[in-house]
Structure 1
Amino acid sequence: MDEIGQLKTELEEKTKLSEDRLERLRYLQAEFDNYRKWQEKEKAAIIALANETLIKDLLVVFDDLERALPSLTHEKNKAGIEMIYKNFNKILCAYGLQPIPCLGKKFDPQFHEVLCTEKCGKEQNTVLEELEKGYQLKSKVIRPSKVKIAEHVMEETGENNG
């Protein structure tokens, strides 16, 4: 009987040890899964940052190309440059680049940078002119639109207004 009691005690100790090790294994496995997920997010962030830097550098060339289009006079040259421009735009769009719409919209400091104002009859802070196109890469603004906004002028009527 002593031997059976001793074996039961040993079995309980070994069972407890195996349960502890199984629990540690599960914990390590969960920790590894979390690490793997974190690594994947980090990798995606690095790739996105690399794309952002490259696209910012390419925007300078893209802007120059866009400005050159109206000045071309030969139809053959113009058609070729327009094709290059469209392909360039298509590639940038495939990477998530989108122009920021601004004409006629209300000024939003997240998307627009005011360079000047103009007194007119339009509603205060309405974008009147886009001086330089702004862009978003996916949902992040990488270059705000440089704009001219309206400064509302009150119409003065009556004898005592000045």
Structure 2
Amino acid sequence: MSEEKKNENMNADQAKNTCGCAKDGACAQNNEKELSGEQPELCEKEACCKKQEHCEKNENEKGEKCEKKKKLFAEIDELKKEAEENKRKWYAVTAEYENYRRRTEKQSATRYADGRNDVVAELFPVGDNLERALASCADEQTKKGLEMVLKSFEKVLTDEGIETIDPTGKPFSADEAEAIMAVPAENGEESGTVKQVYLKGYKKAGKVLRYAQVIVIS
């Protein structure tokens, strides 16, 4: 086959492989460049296809990024909810512990105070006996000694914040006294008034440690 025939066949094959672009001049130039070993330029249709492929690739990448962002934001929202729930639980536990601590401290203080009061209450009969002994004592020296002991006893009670309940001449109150006897009124005495205290009562900070035993006018 002659060289001229080969060139014609090659040109025919190149024509078949062209993209069908309307601009035949550009395709012909590309064919000539391919024959000469140069890099051919893209025809209009090929450029359009390349651009479309690039756009589709970008759209796919954008879609993947968008899905990743949505998933990431969803995870962040879930973590925020979990953090808020943990914070709420922490506040609840802290408040409960603080209430427990205060309640325990108050109970401990109350038990301690009650324990001291119980110990001091054991001394009340000692004071009663000292007063009876002082009232019946005829010896002056002995009487002075009893008075000194009784004053020391009363000082102990005062230092502990304990007050004496002595409602003589006052209206009877069951909150601080027990009526052990009722006597008729004499010389215009008012009914319901305490005439005499048979046994002293004691209280501390408003709490009665021992009720006074009294005689009431009926």
Give the TM-score taking structure 2 as reference length. 0.62
Q: Equivalences for 1:2-151 in 2 at 5 Å?
A: 2-70=67-135, 71=137, 73-75=139-141, 77-119=142-184, 120=186, 121-151=188-218
- Please provide the CA RMSD for this pair: 1.9
**Cα 1:137/1:72, change in 2 over 3 Å:** farther
Deviations, residues 31-57 of structure 1 (Å, cap 9, x unaligned): 000101110111122112212221221
Q: 1:108 is paired with a residue of what secondary structure?
A: coil
Question: Which is richer in strand?
Answer: 1
Structure of higher CA gyration radius: 2
Q: Is the 8 A contact 2:163 2:202 kept in 1?
A: yes
Deviations, residues 80-111 of structure 1 (Å, cap 9, x unaligned): 44333223222222223111121110111222
Structure 2 gaps of 5+ residues are 1-64
Q: Is the 8 A contact 2:182 2:217 kept in 1?
A: yes
Cα distance in 1 for partners of 2:99, 2:210 equals: 34
Q: How many residues align?
A: 150
Cα distance in 2 for partners of 1:35, 1:103 equals: 45
Q: Is the 8 A contact 2:196 2:216 kept in 1?
A: yes
In structure 1, what is the equivalent of residue 28 of structure 2? none
Q: Percent identity?
A: 31
Give the TM-score taking structure 1 as reference length. 0.82
Question: Which is richer in helix?
Answer: 2
Q: 1:128 is paired with a residue of what secondary structure?
A: strand
Which AA in structure 2 matches 1:86? Answer: K
